[in-house]
Amino acid sequence: MRKNPAMRPPRAAGPVRPGWAALAAAVLVAVAAAGCGIPRDPERTLDRVRGGTLRAGITAREPWTTLEGGRPGGVEVELVERFAAELAATVEWVDGSEADLMAALEVRELDLVVGGLTADTPWQAKAAITRSYATTRVVVAVPASQPPPDDIAGMRVAVEAGTDAAGILEDKTDAIPVRVADVTQVKGSAVAVDEWLLDDLGLRDTGVHLSKAKHVMATPLGENAFLVRLERFLIAHQAEVPALLDVAARR
Amino acid sequence: MSAHHELPPDKHEKLVKAVRLEWFSIVYLVTAVTLLYFTLGSSQAMKAAWVEDILGLTPPIAFLVASRVRNRTPNDRFPYGYHRATAIAYLCASVALLALGGFILYDSVSKLARFEHPPIDLVKPFGDRPIWLGWLMLGALAYSTVPQVILGRLKQPLAKELNDKVLYADAEMNRADWMTGVAAMAGVIGIGLGLWWADAVAASIISIDIVRDGGKNLRVAVDDLMDKEPTAVDDSRADPLPLWIKNELMRMDWVTDAEVRLREEGHVFVGEAFVVPVDDTDLVDRMERANEHLLGLDWRLHELVIAAVSKIDRPEPAGEG
């Protein structure tokens, strides 16, 4: 075959130029060396809070947050107070609607917002959401004295009026929802209730789970050192959440 | 009309190698895309690198589809065969590249304009030890960068040998990928150091690169579909083959004038040669012998139709453009 003039001899496939590899390695080593201080906050939230004031927004959502007589309480308030104590900070609570608090968080007038927020919160564009520190479920339960039913089809199930659980029970199951004001007052009937209340109310899970909520807190966008510090705290203390819920349930 | 085999035996070996490399590329890219997906977080630069890797899948797929489809023989419904299928796939891919690059550019610039600070938090991938997601991002980016650069360097000489523009474009994209990787890493490291803007700036740079890639490939694809004259595989200059064929024809004693036009169909050339014969003596035989001779000139010349005419109307020069 005649040699084709358009074809140049193929260049040998050389290795990656050492210059780039060395540069990349140098950068990685430098970053790894500084690794203990990473990530940092663009606006220094963690530095400011440490030994100072933690400005926390709260909106009431029992049992996570309560504002009885204007005094913050509940599972998340307890967690935030402990977190602040670890940072030697005092908490300054601000109450308001979720919209107000998130607007303030977005411009970093608050450092943290709690209020029964869940991982599917629509505020993700305005706030950095922590990883979830607790997962709760709404389950269909029967009194522990009764045998668990094979199927809840056609069963009358008490459910709190005006909740998503009521809607899910209506649309997604064949049970007959009976809307009541307070499910904890229902006696001797099947009931849709938070899983963590089962023991206190003497109920047994039927295995039908209506909804699942992953509980989170909100911090300012991009304040990654603060976010990571809070998440480390939550990971370390998430085992205490059931006990805190029990305390809340007894009250 | 006559046609010969698409690849000479020595090239066939290269094709087998290229096909193997492209299969490897696809498998590798799928793992890289998956890894990046699980470490995306809210980093714009990661998103841009991820999209680029997804789009990086199209040239290997186009190449592999083409290497099968082009062996299908023409039939009565598709009398010119199936070469064009690749060009169409390539057009679609480059339009997608352009559009996605534009979208990420817009997204990044608007995030920059809104002073949006990207959050990156902890993950627990290995049991109970939480780790900052940024570190995993850097690992994923390294995995999606270094092998691509090497793959690109392995593919480029093969693309030249096989005269395959899709393979060449793929090699170019792979080779250029170190920039994407380093830019995205710089963005993630920037976030780590508390420079909130680093991520969006890195993403903008990457998306500009994606747009440029898309634009370049779009031009090549449109040129191919418009039957532009054959060019070298890196598109740097016109291929001399049409001129060579013309000269060969002119050298034949029965030809008084000749003109040749060729177009690229995938990695091979097809086209027509117009000749003005001195007389009608033995014309069919002369033309058949000429065709056989010309097809032997270069393996890339796949099909040539010789037409005898009394006068040649030459096309106007197009000027530069």
pLDDT of residue B317: 79
Q: Measure the CA–CA gap between B159 and B180, rounded to whole angstroms.
A: 23
Q: What is the pLDDT of residues B237-289, one digit of tens each?
A: 889 999 999 999 999 999 999 999 999 887 788 999 999 999 988 999 999 99
Q: Which of B123, B157, B163 sits opposite A13 (nearest CB)?
A: B157
Give A11 to chain B, closest Cα distance, Å: 6
Q: How far is CA B57 from the centre of its chain?
A: 11
Q: What is the DSSP letter of A124?
A: G
pLDDT of residue A227: 94
Residue B42: closest CA among B128, B161, B137? B137
Q: Please report, to the nearest 10 degrees, the dihedral formed by the alpha carbons of residues B88, B20, B36, B213 taken in order.
A: -40
Give A237 to chain B, closest Cα distance, Å: 13
Residue B119, CB-side half-sphere exposure with 13 Å CA sphere: 22
Beta-bridge partners for A72: A67
Determine the 3-state secondary structure of B204 from DSSP: helix
The pair of structure tokens assigned to A75 is 């599972």
Q: Report the share of chain B in percent with pLDDT over 90.
A: 36
Q: Which helix (H) or strand (E) holds B281?
A: none
Strands B301-308 and B131-132, by their bridges, are unpaired
Beta-bridge partners for A177: A157
Q: DSSP letter string over B149-184?
A: HHHHHHHHHHHHHHT-HHHHHHHHHHHHHHHHHHHH
Encoded amino acid at B319, one letter: G
Cα B103–Cα B108–Cα B112 angle in degrees, nearest 5: 150
Encoded amino acid at B219, one letter: R
A221 and B118 in contact by Cβ < 8 A? yes
Q: Which of B119, B160, B241 sits opposite A222 (nearest CB)?
A: B119
Q: Are A50 and A89 in contact (CB under 8 A)?
A: yes
- List of residues 6+ apart from B76 with CB closer than 8 A: none
Q: Which helix (H) or strand (E) holds B276?
A: strand B268-277
pLDDT of residue A135: 94
B121 and A38 in contact by Cβ < 8 A? no
pLDDT of residue B79: 87
Residue B47: closest CA among B149, B150, B118, B143? B118
Q: DSSP letter string over B118-145?
A: PP--EE--STT--EEHHHHHHHHHHHHH
At residue A34, does pLDDT exceed 70? Answer: no
Largest CA distance in chain B: 90
A223 and B122 in contact by Cβ < 8 A? no
Q: How far is CA A69 from the centre of its chain?
A: 26
B160 and A10 in contact by Cβ < 8 A? yes
A38 and B195 in contact by Cβ < 8 A? no
Task: Give yes or no for B177 touching A (CB within 8 A).
Answer: no
Q: Are A202 and A184 in contact (CB under 8 A)?
A: no
Determine how many CB atoms are found less than 10 A away from the CB of residue A107: 9
Give A118 to chain B, closest Cα distance, Å: 16
Phi then psi dihedrals of residue B11, to 5 deg = -75, -30
CA distances from A25 to A22, B56, B167 (A): 5, 25, 30
pLDDT of residue A137: 93
Residue A211: closest CA among A160, A151, A144? A160
**pLDDT-based confidence at B223, cuts 50/70/90?**
confident
Mean pLDDT score, A88-93: 96
**pLDDT-based confidence at B3, cuts 50/70/90?**
very low
- Could you tell me which chain A residue has the CA closest to the CA of B119? A222
Task: Give yes or no for B143 touching A (CB within 8 A).
Answer: no
- Count chain A–chain B contacts defined by CB atoms under 8 A: 115
pLDDT of residue A120: 92
Range in A114-123, A226-235, B83-92, B196-205 with the lowest mean pLDDT: B83-92
- List of residues 6+ apart from A250 with CB closer than 8 A: A200
pLDDT of residue A13: 43
pLDDT of residue B4: 41
- Entry field: residues in chain B: 321
**pLDDT-based confidence at B11, cuts 50/70/90?**
confident
Q: What is the pLDDT of residues B206-222, one digit of tens each?
A: 889 888 888 888 888 88
Q: Which of A5, A6, A231 sits opposite B130 (nearest CB)?
A: A231
Q: Measure the CA–CA gap between B306 and B289, rounded to whole angstroms.
A: 11
Determine how many CB atoms are found less than 10 A away from the CB of residue A124: 15
- Could you tell me which chain B residue has the CA closest to the CA of A39? B192
Interface test with A, best of B107, B123, B131, B132 (most A CBs within 10 A): B132
The pair of structure tokens assigned to A116 is 């029964």
Q: Measure the CA–CA gap between B158 and B11, rounded to whole angstroms.
A: 9
Q: Where are the alpha helices (DSSP H) in chain B?
A: 9-39, 44-55, 58-69, 84-113, 133-162, 165-192, 197-225, 241-251, 283-295
pLDDT of residue B129: 82
B193 and A225 in contact by Cβ < 8 A? no
pLDDT of residue B45: 86
Indicate where chain B has its CATH 3.30.70.1350 domain(s): 241-308
- List of residues 6+ apart from B100 with CB closer than 8 A: B51, B55, B210, B214
- Structural domains in chain A plus CATH codes: 45-133+216-250 (3.40.190.10), 136-212 (3.40.190.10)
Q: Are B43 and B107 in contact (CB under 8 A)?
A: no
Range in B27-41, B175-189, B264-278 with the lowest mean pLDDT: B175-189
Domain B9-225 coded CATH 2.102.10.10: no
pLDDT of residue A14: 45
Look at B151 and A15; give whichever has higher pLDDT: B151
- Could you tell me which chain A residue has the CA closest to the CA of B237? A6
B134 and A15 in contact by Cβ < 8 A? no
Task: Give yes or no for B161 touching A (CB within 8 A).
Answer: yes
Range in A151-160, A205-214, B74-83, B299-308 with the lowest mean pLDDT: B74-83
Q: What is the pLDDT of residues A50-84, one digit of tens each?
A: 999 999 999 999 889 999 998 999 999 999 999 99
At residue A1, does pLDDT exceed 50? Answer: no
Interface test with A, best of B5, B11, B117, B145 (most A CBs within 10 A): B117
Q: Measure the CA–CA gap between B12 and B61, rounded to whole angstroms.
A: 19
Q: Are A191 and A203 in contact (CB under 8 A)?
A: yes
Task: Give yes or no for B107 touching A (CB within 8 A).
Answer: no
A224 and B191 in contact by Cβ < 8 A? yes
Beta-bridge partners for B58: none
Task: Give yes or no for B305 touching A (CB within 8 A).
Answer: no
Indicate where chain B has its CATH 1.20.1510.10 domain(s): 9-225
pLDDT of residue A28: 64
A224 and B120 in contact by Cβ < 8 A? yes
Q: Which residues of B touch A129 (CB under 8 A)?
A: 119
Q: Measure the CA–CA gap between A207 and A229, rounded to whole angstroms.
A: 36
Q: What is the DSSP letter of A89?
A: -
Q: Measure the CA–CA gap between B316 and A157, rounded to whole angstroms.
A: 85
Q: Measure the CA–CA gap between A136 and B127, rounded to whole angstroms.
A: 21
| A39 prior amide bond cis, ω within 30 | yes
Give B78 to chain A, closest Cα distance, Å: 30
Q: What is the CA radius of gyration of chain A?
A: 26
CA distances from B17 to A49, A219, B41, B68 (A): 60, 53, 37, 15
Q: What is the pLDDT of residues A136-193, one digit of tens each?
A: 999 999 998 888 888 888 889 999 999 999 999 999 999 999 999 988 888 888 999 9
**pLDDT-based confidence at A11, cuts 50/70/90?**
very low
Q: Which residues of A touch B154 (CB under 8 A)?
A: 13
Give B72 to chain A, closest Cα distance, Å: 25
Q: Which of B134, B194, B297 sits opposite A2 (nearest CB)?
A: B297
- Could you tell me which chain A residue has the CA closest to the CA of B195? A42
Q: Are A126 and A100 in contact (CB under 8 A)?
A: no
CATH class of the domain comprising B241-308: alpha beta
Q: What is the DSSP letter of A14?
A: P
Residue A130: closest CA among B130, B21, B162? B130
pLDDT of residue A24: 66
Q: Measure the CA–CA gap between B215 and B221, rounded to whole angstroms.
A: 10
At residue A15, does pLDDT exceed 70? Answer: no
pLDDT of residue A6: 41
Is the reported ipTM for this assembly greater than 0.90?
A: no
